[in-house]
Amino acid sequence: MSQPCAIENCKRASRALCHCCHQNLCRDHLNQHDDMLNAKLIPFTDEINQLDDRLRHIDVKYILEHTHEQLDQWRRESYRKIDEYIDDRKRKLTENINFQIHNASDGITRLKAIISQLIEKQDTTVDDLNAISRNIQSIRQEITQVEYKMIDLNISPLEIDHRLIRLGEEYVKHDFNLSTLMPPFHIINRSPESHKPVTTNNKVLLMHLQNQLCLFNQELQFIKGIPWNYAWIWDMCWSSTLSRFFIITRNEIFILDENTMTLECLQKEDNYSLCACTCSDISFYVIVVIKTFVEII
């Protein structure tokens, strides 16, 4: 016997069960109900169009104007600091050379005076001559250094520390809004017998479906599958280092090559019961029922 229509004061018998709100409705009220739900889409469409319009009218140049000005200001100040630094080094270099020239000049003046005195005294010894010779040699070296620009310059390239300017969200590659999940864009119907774990390698999604290990692409379309004739799958994970999926049952660890779809049993474990796994770049972690965190690889 059919149920009465769920709408108050409606005497008609229901014709259908609305799956979205689980109400039994007569034909008229089902149509009304349907129209009402569909009508609610219109404000959403308007709202989405408004958002789309706002998005398309965003003037990126205008938004970035002030930030670009700050960066340009930073660049001008940095250039100025480099200019000041180089000017300072040049000044120091000139000072050094002038000091060397002055030093050599002093030496020459001193030597001239000594030689004049010795000529005047006419009392020159071998030691005097040796000392004068050593002084001349030293002055010659100083002059040669200046003449041939033998200046030790030890220049290191200027390394720019990229942390000098931090962009607020530089490391946020994708802007996910986790506060509201979008409605599902595709649904894969799985039977209660399907093993629960699911994992991905950013290219394909791996799950158990109808006695098969199946790969789906990012649009959740089936790509390929192989029969699964083993025990209940407790967990699965992807190793980017090995480019393989790990699959664990209670007592076995398998690896799956997504390209060839070959499955290999790595290890049988009779002493522990495996229940969860995950991978880092260098390790494969497995949780076992004795509740110990075991690093196997």
Interface with Zn ion by CB under 5 A: which residues? 5, 7, 10, 12, 18, 20-21, 26, 29
How many Cβ atoms sit within 10 Å of the Cβ of residue 93? 12
The least distance separating Zn ion from the CB of residue 25, rounded to whole angstroms, comes to 6
- Residue 52 to residue 8: CA distance in whole angstroms: 41
Which one, 36 or 82, has the nearer CB to Zn ion? 36
Which one, 32 or 73, has the nearer CB to Zn ion? 32
What is the side-by-side order of every strand in the sheet holding 274-279? Answer: 274-279, 284-288, 293-295
Residue 44 near residue 63, CB atoms below 8 Å:
no
The least distance separating Zn ion from the CB of residue 33, rounded to whole angstroms, comes to 5
Which one, 34 or 252, has the nearer CB to Zn ion? 34
- Assign residue 293 a region: left if phi > 0, alpha if psi is -120 to 50, beta otherwise? beta
Which one, 30 or 213, has the nearer CB to Zn ion? 30
> Judging by DSSP bridges, how do beta strands 252-257 and 262-268 pair with one another?
antiparallel
What is the side-by-side order of every strand in the sheet holding 222-227? Answer: 198-200, 205-209, 212-216, 222-227
The least distance separating Zn ion from the CB of residue 181, rounded to whole angstroms, comes to 22
The least distance separating Zn ion from the CB of residue 5, rounded to whole angstroms, comes to 3
Which one, 20 or 181, has the nearer CB to Zn ion? 20
The least distance separating Zn ion from the CB of residue 196, rounded to whole angstroms, comes to 30
- Residue 52 to residue 209: CA distance in whole angstroms: 39
Which one, 33 or 244, has the nearer CB to Zn ion? 33
The least distance separating Zn ion from the CB of residue 23, rounded to whole angstroms, comes to 6
Distances (CA, A) of 64 to 59, 69, 70, 292: 9, 8, 10, 53
